[in-house]
Structure 1
């Protein structure tokens, strides 16, 4: 599943084409994805101007000029691509089966280019919803989310406090979206390895008032920010179906220190990386370095 860096990369990839573009035509090729498309979705979008894009956790936000916002989630295999349909421009069909092109928009940019934006989703676990922009903060999908992992609100002091009474494994706590928004399996494994913390460690051990617990919380918060920011800089991961909006692959997977490296030597001590399953998800860690 695309994680926060992938969604941020998609947002940044779409921004030059989408910002201040006018939607001139909309086509739905099926009535639903994970959820039904909003009622009268095509007519409500046609003629609207896209005034900007945003992201909250793993949700892509497309702000419209009528004070409504599209909430888009990529699900397991969703992706956006943008094709230039301006007469005289070079057009290259991306390697995606058209049968999975479920939503399409013709847009005209500020510069007068005619672009064709396509949402492709083979597994159809993604979705698009439409809500009043003023209600975003209170939307049922967004209201419960914790702080973003890229901002200053994610600090050692915050983790030390929020983990204080939690007995769940540290890996499970970090995947809890009410604690940290948008943090997913891949980058939790990477951040825990950098912090020398076992995914099996009880969360409350970082919630103690001791100097050692506070230092561990501070280091973990810093490593979460660092691994997410480095992944964004690298363009996200190209695991499975993830691609950029121009069809090229992300490449952060080449920098994985622990994720997906079961049996390979730890880059710090040489001990074989171990894989365990926690709550149905694979956790990769070094049994020597991470305690």
Structure 2
């Protein structure tokens, strides 16, 4: 892989597509001498060459942060290294998960970025060696902010443009409600090392993966073909702004999620089976 292929689009222990490679998921850790290196990689392209060797340097005696600018993201993400523990390629997250905060872009691309983020966070929730508590909190915040911004900005605009119809909009909102109920069940688990927690993760995964598949086919595809690039860019800015504002409101807290689920119940978006 040449040097250009190693440029970082965003950091933090979150998967983000490399430039020009949609679907390639990459986690970053801070290597020796403060150099960013892949922690683990889910390749959707052909095999690549090993990265160039890193310069050797002694490990510092205290933890520190390394910051790198993010082209699409308005805030810098921080990767932390824990003192006394030399990094390696298979290291797991040791601190709270950082949620990317885009500020602009094609709304389709931004939503797809979040979908890939959700998939990675679900994988981490299944991993007994990962920071499950931090991952659960990050998934809750990202999922609520994502869905609320879609319902308030994206779905209505796409319907006005005749890219989707009333049924598709309402079905998307119903699936959000089902996912939020499953998320609440997960948040109510007292620990992260129980069978109840594992079952709640799988219930959420099933609801979320179903929704992602349908949304990408029945909502995002029409957005690509029936809506102009300018409109998608404007929608991307509006969606990102609302999403980031919700993140600032601690929208992933159990109290906030309870209010979202209660509103869905009042609006008739949850069936009795979903509430049980």
Task: Considering fraction of residues, name the structure with more helix.
Answer: 2
Q: Indicate the structure with greater strand content.
A: 1
What TM-score do the two structures reach when normalised by structure 1? 0.29
